[in-house]
């Protein structure tokens, strides 16, 4: 689980701040499932 989050963070660092915010919302939705 943490490994996936680290990969996501590394990926997010390469994209725009607006997409970073969207990715955070998406990650929260996934965790709520």
Q: How far apart are CA 2 and CA 9, in angstroms?
A: 10
Q: How far apart are CA 14 and CA 33, in angstroms?
A: 26
Q: How many CB atoms lie within 10 A of CB 20?
A: 14
Residues 1-33: tens digit of each pLDDT: 577 888 887 777 776 667 767 878 888 877 776
Q: How far apart are CA 9 and CA 19, in angstroms?
A: 12
Q: Could you state, in order of their start, the residue ranges of all structural domains in the chain?
A: 2-32
Q: How far apart are CA 16 and CA 3, in angstroms?
A: 22
pLDDT for the residue numbered 33? 66
Task: Output the pTM of the full model.
Answer: 0.32
Residue entry with tokens 């990715």: 23
pLDDT for the residue numbered 13? 75
């Amino acid at each position: 689980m943490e490994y996936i989050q680290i990969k996501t963070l590394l990926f997010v660092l390469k994209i725009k701040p607006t997409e970073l915010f969207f990715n955070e919302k998406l990650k929260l939705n996934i965790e709520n499932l």
